[in-house]
């Protein structure tokens, strides 16, 4: 399975934008890029996903590099409730049963 | 909608005991799965189901059994608990087993095996 690489931890100030990077240099042409987050003592929560084009939703934006070897999750205005572990995951095309969670990036928001 | 529900929230077992972790969803999702999360690690897939009557193994299936008799329910059975199965267990569901669909996770069951 294609793997992803994320920084172990990041810090950001409250009410400022946050850019969370993810490298996936072995991505195949049909892999989707998913982002989930996990707040303390909760189950993972879907954030956003995309294939080739940049994506926006109410929670975040996903910027995908033209060669698809990296992507960036953008939180436009971080709040304390955004403090969580963020996972960048690739899903293979015949089923998302193969979602593989790495250790993710622990995001700390500074008031 | 209640979403994905899991019971119990906490459980302590002795080595060799058996138990069933319950998972239910009310979103009419075809795809359901079980993950475990050990301290400081990401989630690992145990078993999954693409519909009623169909199940398959994930990354770490040993020591666990599943069945899927209805669309709504996907219980996980530990036949003979071992300390290595101490973990937090998450159930998830999605509309279908395709790569473009988001998964919805339950709140988790924290299991300790002594």
**B108·A51 Cβ contact <8 A:** no
Do residues B91 and B74 touch, judged by C-beta distance below 8 A?
yes
Q: Give the mean pLDDT of B9-29.
A: 97
**Strands A45-50 vs A105-110: parallel, antiparallel or unpaired:** unpaired
- Higher-pLDDT residue of B93 and A2 is B93
In the prediction, which pLDDT does A1 show? Answer: 57
Q: Is the pLDDT of residue A99 over 60?
A: yes
Q: Is B39 exposed, middle or buried (0-12, 13-18, 19+ CB in 10 A)?
A: exposed
* For residue B8, cis peptide bond before it (omega within 30 degrees of 0): yes
Residues of chain A above pLDDT 70, percent? 91
Contacts of A93 in chain B (CB under 8 A): 99
- Residue B98 or residue B65, greater confidence: B65
Question: How confident is the model over A50-73, as pLDDT tens digits?
Answer: 999 999 999 999 999 999 999 999
Instruction: Please list, in sequence order, all residues whose beta carbon lies within 8 angstroms of the beta carbon of residue A105, skipping any fewer than 6 positions away.
Output: A6, A7, A8, A9, A10, A20, A85, A86, A88
Q: Is B74 helix (H, G, I), strand (E, B) or coil?
A: coil
Tell me what the mean pLDDT of segment B84-111 comes to. 89
**Chain-chain contact of B33 with A45 (C-beta, under 8 angstroms):** no
Specify the pairing of strand A9-13 against strand A105-110. Answer: parallel
Which positions in chain B have a beta carbon within 8 angstroms of at least one beta carbon in chain A? 4, 31, 33, 35, 40-45, 48, 50, 56, 58-59, 90, 92, 94, 97-108
């Amino acid at each position: 399975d294609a793997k992803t690489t994320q920084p172990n931890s990041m810090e950001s100030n409250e009410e400022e934008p946050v850019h969370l990077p993810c490298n996936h240099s072995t991505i195949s042409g049909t892999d989707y890029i998913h982002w989930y987050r996990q707040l303390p003592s909760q189950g993972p929560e879907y954030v956003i996903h995309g294939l080739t084009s940049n994506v926006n939703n109410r929670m975040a934006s996903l910027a995908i590099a033209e060669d698809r070897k990296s992507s960036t999750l953008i939180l436009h205005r971080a709040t304390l409730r955004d403090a969580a572990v963020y996972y960048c995951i690739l899903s293979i095309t015949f089923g998302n049963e193969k979602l593989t969670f790495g250790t993710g990036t622990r995001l700390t928001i500074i008031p | 909608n209640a979403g994905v529900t899991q019971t119990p929230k906490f459980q302590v077992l002795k080595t060799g005991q058996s138990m069933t972790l319950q998972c239910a969803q009310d979103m009419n999702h075809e795809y359901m799965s079980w993950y475990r999360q050990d301290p400081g690690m990401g989630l690992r897939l145990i078993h999954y189901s693409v519909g009623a009557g169909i199940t398959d193994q994930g990354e770490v299936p040993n020591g666990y059994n599943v069945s899927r008799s209805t669309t709504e329910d996907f219980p996980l059975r530990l036949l003979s608990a071992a300390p290595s199965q101490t973990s937090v267990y998450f159930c998830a569901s999605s509309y279908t087993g395709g790569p473009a669909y988001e998964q919805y996770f339950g709140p988790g069951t924290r299991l300790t095996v002594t």
